[in-house]
Amino acid sequence: QKEVEQDPGPLSVPEGAIVSLNCTYSNSAFQYFMWYRQYSRKGPELLMYTYSSGNKEDGRFTAQVDKSSKYISLFIRDSQPSDSATYLCAMSAWQAGTALIFGKGTTLSVSS
């Protein structure tokens, strides 16, 4: 079993839809959870960061962490064509110096 599992998609939605992206993980030591957005031929861009369990909201984006289920989610409300990208979940157990463990990414396409 991979440490982090993420459905690669692709996921296609119409503009204005609510998008749900998910990752599951197996290592119960993970405490730090991140979502990155990556546009084609660009570097990953940090989108959301959450420590331990709970929700975090930033504009149209909400990140949820359920450590009991080892499951994290990213919700995008009122999706826009500019949200079309690959979304990577990432997580780590410790602080600086530890590798992030990434999911393989979900490709999202939002059509106008």
Partner 1 sequence: DAGITQSPRHKVTETGTPVTLRCHQTENHRYMYWYRQDPGHGLRLIHYSYGVKDTDKGEVSDGYSVSRSKTEDFLLTLESATSSQTSVYFCAINKGGQQETQYFGPGTRLLVL
Q: Which residues bind partner 1 (CB under 8 A)?
A: 32, 34, 36, 41-46, 49, 51, 88, 90, 92, 94-97, 99-100, 102-105
Smallest gap, in angstroms, from Cβ of residue 6 to partner 1?
Answer: 8
Structure tokens given for 90: 């990432």
In a 3-state reduction of DSSP, which class is residue 80? coil
- Distance, CA of 91 to CA of 34 (rounded, Å): 6
How are beta strands 11-14 and 106-111 bridged, if at all? parallel
- Cβ atoms of 38 and 85 within 8 Å: the answer is yes
Given the complex with partner 1, which of 25 and 79 has the nearer CB atom? 25
Smallest gap, in angstroms, from Cβ of residue 78 to partner 1?
Answer: 26
Smallest gap, in angstroms, from Cβ of residue 74 to partner 1?
Answer: 15
